[in-house]
Structure 1
Amino acid sequence: MTGEILENPRSPRVRRVAALARKKERQQSGRFLVEGPQAVRELLQHRSGRAETVYATMGTEAWQYELDRLASEEGVPIERVTDAVLAAMAETVQPQGVLAVARVEDEPVEDAVRGVGLVAILHEVRDPGNAGAVLRAADAAGAGAVVFAGDSVDPWHPKVVRATTGSLFHLPIAVTPTLGEAVAAARAGGLSVIAADVHGEDLHPRSEALRDPIAWVFGNEARGLSVAERALADRSLRLPIYGEAESLNLAAAAAVCLYTTAFAQRLTRRE
């Protein structure tokens, strides 16, 4: 930690950090923003080698002492900034007193999915909040990896990072240009591939199909999966609607699919 406080919100350094809210800048620099105490804490605890610098305001909240300690233990520089500087750096309107700059390190998809029991593949998922929520659900359900395929939102988008509440740093993240590549890697890694789609059979919690290693494919929020995309999977399953709702949103549906699979796989291990 330096004794100086960054005070000028228009300085080149502040502008460089703020520019990471844009995809082009993230791609060119290989860096992304991590905003808020929870996300920065998870970064330092689980992926400290990717943390480049932590920027924090002066304060007495308990999390600030904890982050100072973690950054010091992990050898990550921590810089003090004014509220105005942090606001200029952050993508959020009301930053929570801290953000970090971290290095992008998405894994080769073949490595990410090898030897794991549950994977979520997001294909053409565009909404950052949805993508982050699915990633968080995958982490909670014990998935081994999340794959972003096709023209999905950038997993390092600030809104995706915030929506994961730190889960981004708990499991491997892979990016593939096509769904076909993601599916091929999943099969090579020993997983069966199930498409979540309204045209499929009803998902049943006792289905034998859920007991083996599974890669779920979740499609675009508005269009779902095309006939050709569904054909890449081994089978298609849908969530039955028992009430009057027209449908579930992507994040809710993905959470149910992932957890139902996690329950089935754990039941198999006990038998």
Structure 2
Amino acid sequence: MSEVITSLQNAHIKLAASLKQKKYRDMHQVFIAEGTRLVEEVLKSDWEIKFAIYLDSVKNERILHLVDELKTRNCALYRVNQSIYDKVCETKGSQGILLVVKKHQYNLSDILKRAENPVVVIMDSVQDPGNVGTIIRTADAAGCSGVILTKGSADIFNGKTVRSAMGALFHVPIIEDVETEDLLQFVKKNSIRTYAAALDKTAKTYFSCDFAKPTAMIFGNEGNGVSDTLLIGASEKVFIPMQGDAESLNVATSAAIIIYESLRQRISRNC
């Protein structure tokens, strides 16, 4: 059964509304997954749902099916009117359903459990939530073993990041706030070769590198690129050749190109 909430002062509504801010997501260790696609992806995963909120005016069959499925899982369901729903949702024209989900914490060792020959995506202080979410989505689509974000990167539980990742957040191990030295020790200990994307005279073209062995690909901050510490610690520096007038590519675009080259090589080796 679902409970009807009619007050903005309700504790569940106040909690959900507060999760637009990182400090409250961190305090309560929960975040919002909003919209039918994300709700479906959460239900496919083992992530813990704390409660669901949905519009009392919803008539969409897809959403009503999700409500029924949540009921079968004994999930706490709260039905609200439009004004209350607008208080907690982040998007205009929202589809009318959202979940408050408990954060799932991973360790660096979880990446190694996914594959004997890991391929890892590293974001070094990538700050735009849309870029972070898009790169996570690409990493998942390409079958990467995990994603690592160094300190200074965007919060993966930011609403824009969650939406940009399009559910990939719930399917690939992601480790946040990793110190640079801990990262370098991890890849060295596990014999993972690191390739740092860089506009550098000593860099190699990305398609001349061997990504078929244990590999980590490093993509840097939108304005400053990969940090000097990681550039020095990387096994190779790589670049994407460009023949037009553009000075650089968006970091999410660069990541997609190189990540899919690693997938192409792995598929070719296994044929």
Question: What TM-score results when the alignment is normalised by the length of structure 1?
Answer: 0.92
Q: Summarize the Cα distance change of 1:66–1:226 in structure 2 as closer, same or farther, 3 Å threshold.
A: same
Q: Deviations over 1:215-261 (max 9, x none)?
A: 11111011002332201211111111133322210111101110110
1:147 CA displacement = 1.1
Contact 1:129–1:159 (CA under 8 A) maintained in structure 2: yes
Secondary structure at 2:225's aligned position in 1? Answer: coil
Q: Summarize the Cα distance change of 1:114–1:216 in structure 2 as closer, same or farther, 3 Å threshold.
A: farther
Contact 1:114–1:190 (CA under 8 A) maintained in structure 2: no
Partner of 1:28: 27
Range with greater deviation from structure 2 (254-263 or 102-111): 102-111
Secondary structure at 1:194's aligned position in 2? Answer: strand
Within 5 A, what are the aligned runs for 1:87-166?
87-114=86-113, 116=115, 117-166=118-167
Distance in structure 2 (CA, Å) of the matches to 1:70 and 1:173: 27
Equivalenced residue count is 266
Distance in structure 2 (CA, Å) of the matches to 1:141 and 1:7: 44
Partner of 1:54: 52
Partner of 2:205: 202
Partner of 2:216: 215
> Gapped runs of 5+ residues in structure 1?
none
Partner of 1:79: 78
Range with greater deviation from structure 2 (88-97 or 247-256): 88-97
Partner of 2:10: 11
Within 5 A, what are the aligned runs for 1:234-249?
234-249=235-250
Range with greater deviation from structure 2 (34-43 or 87-96): 87-96
Range with greater deviation from structure 2 (184-193 or 242-251): 184-193
> Gapped runs of 5+ residues in structure 2?
none
What percent of counterpart residues are identical? 27
Distance in structure 1 (CA, Å) of the matches to 2:255 and 2:178: 21
1:7 CA displacement = 2.0
Within 5 A, what are the aligned runs for 1:217-236?
217-236=218-237
The AA in structure 1 aligned to 2:240 is: L
1:10 CA displacement = 4.0
Distance in structure 1 (CA, Å) of the matches to 2:74 and 2:237: 47
Q: Deviations over 1:4-23 (max 9, x none)?
A: 32122343331111111111
Q: Summarize the Cα distance change of 1:242–1:220 in structure 2 as closer, same or farther, 3 Å threshold.
A: same
1:141 CA displacement = 0.9
Q: Deviations over 1:33-85 (max 9, x none)?
A: 111111111011113x4111111113221221231233234332222121211
Q: Summarize the Cα distance change of 1:134–1:115 in structure 2 as closer, same or farther, 3 Å threshold.
A: same
Secondary structure at 2:210's aligned position in 1? Answer: helix
Q: Summarize the Cα distance change of 1:191–1:74 in structure 2 as closer, same or farther, 3 Å threshold.
A: farther
Range with greater deviation from structure 2 (178-187 or 124-133): 178-187
The AA in structure 2 aligned to 1:16 is: L
Range with greater deviation from structure 2 (50-59 or 179-188): 179-188
Distance in structure 2 (CA, Å) of the matches to 1:189 and 1:62: 48
1:115 CA displacement = 5.1
Q: Summarize the Cα distance change of 1:114–1:183 in structure 2 as closer, same or farther, 3 Å threshold.
A: farther
Contact 1:36–1:96 (CA under 8 A) maintained in structure 2: yes
The AA in structure 2 aligned to 1:57 is: L
Partner of 1:253: 254
Distance in structure 1 (CA, Å) of the matches to 2:212 and 2:16: 45
Q: Deviations over 1:161-187 (max 9, x none)?
A: 011111111111112331232232234
Secondary structure at 2:249's aligned position in 1? Answer: coil
1:190 CA displacement = 4.2
Contact 1:128–1:153 (CA under 8 A) maintained in structure 2: yes
Partner of 1:37: 36
Partner of 2:187: 186
Range with greater deviation from structure 2 (93-102 or 123-132): 93-102
Distance in structure 2 (CA, Å) of the matches to 1:250 and 1:57: 37
Q: Summarize the Cα distance change of 1:232–1:115 in structure 2 as closer, same or farther, 3 Å threshold.
A: farther
Distance in structure 2 (CA, Å) of the matches to 1:11 and 1:77: 14
Partner of 1:170: 171
Q: Deviations over 1:152-210 (max 9, x none)?
A: 11111111001111111111111233123223223434421111111121111xx3521
